[in-house]
Amino acid sequence: MKKRYIFIIIGILAVSFLSYCFFPVVFFQNKDLPWNIVLYDRNGILIADKATEFWYKKIIDLDLQSEFVKSLILIEDKNYYNHFWIDIISKIWALNSNFIYKKVVSGWSTITEQYIKNRFFINNKRTYLQKAREATLAFYYSLPYFPNTLSTFENREFTKKRVLSQYLQNAYFWNNLYWVWAAIEVYFWKDNLSDLNQEEIVLLITLLNNPSNNSIYDKNFSAYFEKVKRKLWYNFERKIDKLNKKQSFDNFPFATKDLYFWDEKLSIDANLSIFARKIVNETLEKLKQKNVTNAAVFAINPKTREIIIYEWSRDFYSREIDGQVNVIKSERQPWSTMKPFLYLMALENWAWINSMLLDVESEYNSFSEGKTYISNNYSLKEYWLVRLKNSLWNSLNNATVRLAFHLWLENVYNFYKDYWFDLKESPEYYGYSLVLWNPSIKLQDLVYSYSKLLDLKDKNKFLLYNILSDPDNRDISFWVNSILNTSIPQAVKTGTSSNFKDNVIISYHPDFVLWVWVWNNDNSSMIWVTGITWAWYIWHQIIEEAIRLGYIYDYNFDIPEGIEKKSYCLDLSCFRKEVNFDKDSINYYSRIADNVYDNRDLYEKLSDFEKQKLLDLWFYLK
């Protein structure tokens, strides 16, 4: 009975010890590995090279035949290729030395045990129990290789090299540096192990054994340095008097924080992004006295959805403007930049670009008991009859809400959802402000929604693109010649919030979608300035630079089936004309230069009161 209890106790102790050993292996997370962020832009320009919270490490192919590796094995584990992962004889000598000196003077860990320590127990104290854990795991790590290890010397050498490489991936070289390649880059400005001289080899081996020293001239460090030098039979005059610390840099902290993957190339363009940042800061500096403090820029290639510019603030590190708040992924109200989708819906529902819309302040159902919704234009002016293309480009709110009313609000709501607008509430919750400003959506999603408008083989999207890219349609608010004209035309939509709290512009082209937002983080109003000194000036400069860099090409678009260039007579004598793309089945009857309008051109049904009002205002209806 006593023997049984003894075996049970031994079994319990053995299981407890093995559980204690394997606990860090079972629950090990790769995120705890040391690593660094090394990022290149789409053109191969290095844009970030910095330590993560788990410190600095770089990965390249390791030359295991280099003098450094051979010297390291000689100093750290000279029987490395001969023993079976644990050097029992050396451990006995180490225990004997510790007993004689009555303190721990040697642990004699093999390279495999050091790898185990660096990977799983980097912060653990050096104790006999800890050494036992490392030895147990080292033996465990040899088991997958055991058949090869026992068979031939060549197979054993192969498996030993694998473990050696893993060890050197986790070896610590002071200054938060892991892997020897990171150390030789930082300390000696070298890229290859074969380029190291004898002093540099000795320094690196000494660092491995003295990682906590503050100086390479500390007493313990210098003593070990001389010991390694003698053991390697090196004879050199010591010249290196200091080791540089790693100089981290991150030129694009916005992208690094939000977009990077380990050792991945980003699709952003460093030169274009730096240019955008420069224009943003120069513009905002000029507008400082007018309480214009922050801006964001986001650009993508709509064909691939690759991100080309990703700047969500003028200064990532500024607390004053909440620089680390990602406005690109924040939910904000998009204002008039939602309107093109409503007008596209109208084009798909039998409208054409010269359809006549009524632009007049009106009352609508607010879907709240006892309340009505009243529309009005930003300028508070009413235009009464206006062509669809002019209504869209000049953001006439009255005509827009009336259009949503005619198309039915619930249908508009579902149409927006089809274009990736994440509308979390019901149509009734938003009411008719849905088409003007109400919903809060991620601005990044807005950009991707615009990329869905670029199927220019679709006749309605082709018409929408031509409306938004034609300067003649901007006559009411921006005039024909404005900063919105670029050397290669863009389809553009602008938006400004009430009380001048936000100013936004978004453009789309088959090669490039660009979004620029100007605002204040404290939600205060900007003091009124002209549009060309807000987001639109920043946008214009970036577009022209993108054209210069070859991102945007000038195309002769194929005209879709069902579309043709049509001549539109502006007066009764047809002396003045304009030519537009429109649906080939359409005929125009109104003559807007003479205030003569035809009921066949009206997209909406008008009440008798509205018709009489138009006559009173000298709009003649036939």
The tens digit of pLDDT for each residue in 323-334 reads 788 888 888 888
Q: Residue 388 pLDDT > 60, yes or no?
A: yes
Q: What is the mean pLDDT of residues 87-92?
A: 58
Residue type, 376: N
Q: Give the span between the Cα atoms of 471 and 480, in whole angstroms.
A: 5
- pLDDT (0 to 100) of residue 123: 61
- pLDDT (0 to 100) of residue 506: 93
Band (pLDDT 50/70/90 cuts) for residue 147 is very low
- pLDDT (0 to 100) of residue 149: 41
Indicate the range of 99-103, 236-240, 279-283 predicted with least confidence: 99-103
Q: Give the span between the Cα atoms of 518 and 279, in whole angstroms.
A: 13
- pLDDT (0 to 100) of residue 514: 96
Please give the backbone phi and psi of residue 524, each rounded to the nearest 5 degrees, phi first.
Answer: -80, 155
- pLDDT (0 to 100) of residue 162: 77
Q: Give the span between the Cα atoms of 401 and 396, in whole angstroms.
A: 9
Indicate the range of 120-129, 161-170, 449-458 predicted with least confidence: 120-129
- pLDDT (0 to 100) of residue 612: 84
Q: Give the span between the Cα atoms of 270 and 138, in whole angstroms.
A: 46
Q: Following DSSP, what letter does each residue of 16-66 receive, concatenated?
A: HHHHHHHHHHHT--GGGS--EEEEE-TTS-EEEEEEBTTBEE------TTS
- pLDDT (0 to 100) of residue 74: 84
The C-alpha angle with vertex 595 and arms to 594 and 598, in degrees rounded to 5, equals: 110
pLDDT digits (tens, 9 = 90+) for 510-566: 999 999 998 887 777 777 665 555 788 899 999 999 999 999 999 888 899 988 888
Helix (H, G, I), strand (E, B) or coil at 132: helix
452, burial (CB in 10 Å: exposed 0-12, middle 13-18, buried 19+): middle
Torsion angle defined by CA atoms of residues 517, 519, 522 and 528, in that order, rounded to the nearest 10 degrees: -170
User: 74-81 long-range contacts, Cβ below 8 Å, gap at least 24?
Assistant: 74/231, 74/232, 75/205, 75/228, 75/231, 75/232, 76/111, 76/114, 76/205, 76/208, 77/110, 77/111, 80/110, 80/111, 80/160, 80/164, 81/156, 81/157, 81/160
Q: Give the span between the Cα atoms of 201 and 179, in whole angstroms.
A: 14
Helix (H, G, I), strand (E, B) or coil at 552: coil
Helix (H, G, I), strand (E, B) or coil at 510: coil
Q: Copy the structure tokens of residue 565.
A: 């260039």
What is the H or E stretch that residue 283 is in? helix 270-286
- pLDDT (0 to 100) of residue 145: 46
- pLDDT (0 to 100) of residue 511: 95
Closest by CA position to 334, among listed 419, 208, 428:
419
Within 10 A of 312 (CB to CB), how many other CB atoms are there? Answer: 25
Position with higher pLDDT, 12 vs 27: 12
- pLDDT (0 to 100) of residue 146: 42
Cα separations in angstroms, 20 against 14, 136, 143, 287: 10, 11, 19, 63
Strand partners, 307: 300
Q: What is the mean pLDDT of residues 372-396?
A: 82
Within 10 A of 227 (CB to CB), how many other CB atoms are there? Answer: 14
- pLDDT (0 to 100) of residue 155: 46
- Are 49 and 41 contacting, i.e. CB atoms less than 8 angstroms apart? no
pLDDT digits (tens, 9 = 90+) for 568-585: 888 888 889 888 888 888
Q: Give the span between the Cα atoms of 360 and 384, in whole angstroms.
A: 5
Q: What is the mean pLDDT of residues 151-156?
A: 44
The percent of residues in the chain predicted with pLDDT above 90, rounded, is 18
User: 88-95 long-range contacts, Cβ below 8 Å, gap at least 24?
Assistant: 91/135
Helix (H, G, I), strand (E, B) or coil at 416: helix
Number of helical (H) and strand (E) elements in the chain, helices listed first: 21, 20
Considering only the C-alpha atoms of the chain, give the largest distance between any 2 of them, rounded to a whole number of Å.
Answer: 121
Q: What is the mean pLDDT of residues 52-67?
A: 67
Q: Following DSSP, what letter does each residue of 305-371 receive, concatenated?
A: TEEEEEE-SS-TT-TTTTTTS-STTSEE--GGGGHHHHHHHHHHTT--TT-EEEE---EEE-SSTT-
Question: What is the number of alpha carbons within 13 Å of residue 195 lying toward its C-beta?
Answer: 10
- pLDDT (0 to 100) of residue 151: 41
How far, in whole angstroms, is CA 415 from its chain's centroid?
28
pLDDT digits (tens, 9 = 90+) for 197-237: 998 888 888 888 776 666 777 888 888 888 988 998 998 88
Cα separations in angstroms, 21 against 15, 24, 131, 501, 546: 10, 7, 10, 60, 58
Helix (H, G, I), strand (E, B) or coil at 585: coil
The percent of residues in the chain predicted with pLDDT above 70, rounded, is 79
CATH class of 11-231: mainly alpha
Ranges of each domain in the chain = 11-231
- Are 564 and 587 contacting, i.e. CB atoms less than 8 angstroms apart? no
